Structure 1
């Protein structure tokens, strides 16, 4: 007997959810331990590992999560001099903080073909890509069953509260300590982070994932416009020339997008604009400011997410509210979804959203700007290809060409801008 199309779709979504659940288990292990294996001693990156550990012990340098946002060390761990340790400065001694070289005669001269740090960074990037793909697919499955993007976006932002709350309460992660002035400085970036997320979810629900990411590739265009018009900051001509393939590529992709909708296009563009605003405002407002203690990248994202959730909650209640969500829930149940299945999809989507962003923070802060630009571009390409395969999204040759031009333009923009620095 033939199986109805809706039943086959639910079977496929359950299979995808099982795969996403396995990714969640891996993410829990990696997210909890990721900060422990990322090397924090950037200025001594060429020194042997054991020598750097000894030097760090001697100078009282603590890992990132014991520093405040301004990069200053805690007063509880003052820097120890070589004299205080009973050693002679200027010698070939890894314990000497003033020595030009932290050499160690016991270290072998030869280094392994692939360093431990490289392997761990590679693991972080693979995990980041996997979680990001999982979130995009999981979020689309949620929006297919429950077409309530505002409620879904609010839930995904809220999911960070119980997640990091558990880590803070159990001591698995040190709690951030924020001053009132620091908290006020974080409100604008948190607002734009929430807007970026909710616009992206609206676009996912109204169109194809691939088209949303192509439109979001226009972020450099809005960054250049906002910087020039509002802050009167102008970039070299090579940077502006890199915007041409982005604009032309998105126009071509939009004209030949088979699943084009104005809601998806406008929401994806809004996500790009607010993301550019968040980046510019964050740099202007937060750069060099002391906001508090224990503001690691993970804690910073947690604080911004929690603030953003409470900011969009009133709008979510007004636009959709309990009545629309209840109606969508009843319709999904009538279509064959169980309550357990719906809650599972919502929980996995929220968990994947939070963990992929946290892993991204850990991975990208450890690499050079050029590597950052390349990996971000590759990530977008991988997501587009994965979504086209999973959802069998039809795409025309000219649409594919336009998407490629937009993404290549975004990469050229990043490379040109970094060359200017």
Structure 2
């Protein structure tokens, strides 16, 4: 803890602060007791100081001018340290950059793999409600086993925690299902192009529902986002309204998820990994009855048999892979929020979409018109400009 003590020649006559010092024969730093004698002599912005810790004191001396020397306002910088405390050197910027680079590379790689296997599964097994449920179930199972075996430390939660998490889980569930429905109807690249419009939804919701205002550059950055997404949608060869609306609903749901998360998690000391684990468990509980109502076991059984017949045992691996990688990429993204700034995260999220769009086009041989590619590029550029202007 750093303390600033401001003293002058007048302080000794009015009371102010008294410093009691002592030294020892081992030439250790003096022990200093700083005690407030009269708080009324302090200004409104200064508070009485009372410390019984060893203080390391350095002071500016009086300045002499010619033959006379006059005392000036001096700053005593005191650092309170316990005898067993040591100053930690600042983390190396190079090491921090490497750490962030590892986070980004892992995050992007896991997301690309998830999207590939998710699309493979949905092409063979077009039941997005069950697919979404299995993704959450796998993540919940992984974390429950990790807590039970103490591979990861279980979070300490209470009723208030789960109450605050409930609206976040509802929004997360809607966004997850809507995105999966979208990818079951259209190309992965198109879904992610539309999902790049999430910043526009964020600004509009914050402006009209929360009354927040933003600088002019933020509003201007929305123009290329909206224009690029619109151009990409109009020129999409395999356009589907359900797929388009699914991506739009996902954008809106994830914006509300972020808003609820900021409001509900203030003061909660749960790590990013455990926070997403709890979110997955609660979302699974919410989603399961709706998935049964929307599709049902009869359709799932028939679809499963058809998929195994057409694809073979590989289909089971596809389903397991998409569920595992869904949890892992989301977990890494939440963990990265503990280590990087929101601006860095926004830039990383923009680059993630580029990697997913490009990789999916290459792997699935998605036909893309030049005008469609231009619209995607404009939308992605607008997202990047938004992340810069938001700061």
Name the structure, 1 or 2, with higher relative contact order (CA <8 Å, separation 6+). 1
1:117 equivalent among 93, 96, 104: 96
TM-score (norm 2): 0.77
Higher helix fraction (1 or 2): 1
1:320 equivalent among 292, 295, 313: 295
2:379 aligned partner:
406
Cα distance in 2, alignment partners of residues 174 and 373 from structure 1: 28
2:324 equivalent among 351, 358, 363: 351
Structure 2 unaligned segments of length 5 or more: list them: 1-50, 59-76
1:175 aligned partner:
154
Computing the radius of gyration from Cα coordinates, the structure with the larger value is: 2
2:314 aligned partner:
341
Do 2:189 and 2:356's aligned partners in 1 also have CA atoms closer than 8 Å? yes
Do 2:56 and 2:80's aligned partners in 1 also have CA atoms closer than 8 Å? no
Cα distance in 2, alignment partners of residues 256 and 103 from structure 1: 56
Cα distance in 1, alignment partners of residues 88 and 245 from structure 2: 57
TM-score (norm 1): 0.71
1:200 aligned partner:
179
Cα distance in 2, alignment partners of residues 230 and 124 from structure 1: 34
1:245 aligned partner:
224
How far did residue 289 of structure 1 move? 3.6
1:271 equivalent among 227, 240, 250: 250
1:102 aligned partner:
87
Relative to structure 1, the CA distance from residue 183 to residue 219 in structure 2 (aligned partners, 3 Å threshold; closer, same or farther) is same
User: Helix, strand or coil: the match of 1:115?
Assistant: helix
Structure 1 unaligned segments of length 5 or more: list them: 1-80
User: Helix, strand or coil: the match of 2:211?
Assistant: coil
Relative to structure 1, the CA distance from residue 235 to residue 384 in structure 2 (aligned partners, 3 Å threshold; closer, same or farther) is same
User: Helix, strand or coil: the match of 1:283?
Assistant: helix
Cα distance in 1, alignment partners of residues 187 and 82 from structure 2: 55
How far did residue 334 of structure 1 move? 3.0
- Deviation string for 1:184-216 (max 9, x for gaps)? 110000111111111111111100011000111
Do 1:213 and 1:384's aligned partners in 2 also have CA atoms closer than 8 Å? yes
Q: 1:252-267 alignment to 2 at 5 Å?
A: 252-267=231-246
Do 1:82 and 1:96's aligned partners in 2 also have CA atoms closer than 8 Å? no
How far did residue 219 of structure 1 move? 1.0
Asked if 1:363 is matched to 2:342, the reply is no
Relative to structure 1, the CA distance from residue 119 to residue 238 in structure 2 (aligned partners, 3 Å threshold; closer, same or farther) is closer
- Deviation string for 1:136-162 (max 9, x for gaps)? 001011111111111000100111121
- Deviation string for 1:278-321 (max 9, x for gaps)? 112222333x244xx5x110000000111011111111001111
Asked if 1:299 is matched to 2:274, the reply is yes
Cα distance in 1, alignment partners of residues 140 and 341 from structure 2: 31
1:147 aligned partner:
126
How many residues are paired up? 321
User: Helix, strand or coil: the match of 1:234?
Assistant: coil
Do 2:182 and 2:244's aligned partners in 1 also have CA atoms closer than 8 Å? yes
* Larger CA deviation: 275-284 vs 162-171: 275-284
Over aligned residues, Cα RMSD in angstroms?
Answer: 2.5
Relative to structure 1, the CA distance from residue 306 to residue 103 in structure 2 (aligned partners, 3 Å threshold; closer, same or farther) is closer
- Deviation string for 1:202-258 (max 9, x for gaps)? 111100011000111111121122112222222222211111111111110001111
- Deviation string for 1:22-74 (max 9, x for gaps)? xxxxxxxxxxxxxxxxxxxxxxxxxxxxxxxxxxxxxxxxxxxxxxxxxxxxx
User: Helix, strand or coil: the match of 1:159?
Assistant: helix
Q: 1:18-167 alignment to 2 at 5 Å?
A: 83=53, 89-90=56-57, 96=81, 102=87, 115-167=94-146
- Deviation string for 1:126-184 (max 9, x for gaps)? 11111010000010111111111110001001111210111101111111121112211
How far did residue 364 of structure 1 move? 3.4
Cα distance in 2, alignment partners of residues 308 and 381 from structure 1: 28
